[in-house]
Amino acid sequence: MTKVIVTGGAGFIGSNLTDGLVERGYQVAIIDNLATGSVANIQHLLDSDKVVFAPGSIASLPLLQKLFSGAKYVFHQAALPSVPRSIKNPRLSHNINLTGTFNVLLAARDNGVKKVVYASSSSVYGDTVTLPKTEDMIPNPLSPYAVTKLTGEYYCTVFQKIYGLDTVCLRYFNVYGPRQDPGSEYAAVIPKFIASVLAGKPPVIFGDGEQSRDFTFVRDVVEANILAAESRATGVFNIGRSERVTVNHLTRVLIDLAGNATIRPVHKEPRPGDVKHSLADITRARSFGYNPGYTLEQGLQETFKTFARR
């Protein structure tokens, strides 16, 4: 079996990606320090001879050097997520997201890895008014988190040019789906809103709710990662659905799914670092076969089911 690495493989996206890789016959080595991930996300895989779990941090270069031996691809998902968290603690965001990414690239280079697929973020675009966002736009990061993701992209490009390590940077647009944590104070909007409406509580919207996002179901992100690795693709690619959805519309859909028409959202002041509008141009990603298969409604229904079973 072909060995691959998933950093952050016990996290929301990483565990879903591990599922997809195992289904395709890969042998997966997961590294995760469980700061934001959970063993529960990968418990169903730990008895498989296709999965090895190495508890630890990407801050440990010796651990990465040992684990990456014999790996063909590295899917680098590990990060300290959240714009607000990075504003509150920029040093920690820098150490995990940037120094960790540098370590991953070093270990991949030293072990002859064929390709690194790096999880970047649409936050690198900032609040530019032009929509949709295209990969050739000048970045304008508005938070320490966005800066770390953009700098990680630059490191990927440099390692490819200087050391011949193929890299793909996937700029995720608002990923959601099963296993996303609603409990953190930095939780993304969809799991937080689902938890609220299931409890009969009003979702909290920061701002007027007319800000828009390009919500991307996690299984489409999994497909994008695997296609990017197995193809000849290198460089930077947007990964979204290419559909603009306001937070107000999202809230209405979730309230309908909950079947409780009495719920009304509460509005609060906008948060610093948040962008007003985001929409992906995915033309470039289509070149390696990416084609999002889930509508917003389909993805939300799948996600809602898993939350309702908790």
Nearest to 34 by CA among 61, 14, 49: 14
Exposed, middle or buried, 96 (CB in 10 Å: 0-12/13-18/19+)? Answer: buried
Q: What residues are paired with 29 via a beta bridge?
A: 5, 52
Exposed, middle or buried, 289 (CB in 10 Å: 0-12/13-18/19+)? Answer: middle
Q: For 147, list phi and psi in degrees, rounded to 5.
A: -65, -45
Q: Look up residue 150 and give its two tokens.
A: 């953009």
Task: From the candidates 145, 155, 172, 176, give the one annotated as an active-site residue.
Answer: 145
Q: Look up residue 122 and give its two tokens.
A: 């649409």
- Count of residues for the chain? 310
| Residue pointed to by tokens 């799914």 | 257
- What's the number of CA atoms in the CB half-sphere (13 Å) around residue 240? 25
Cβ atoms 115, 73 nearer than 8 A: yes
Active site residue 155: no
Angle, vertex CA 27, rays to CA 232 and CA 292, nearest 5: 50
Annotated catalytic residues are 145
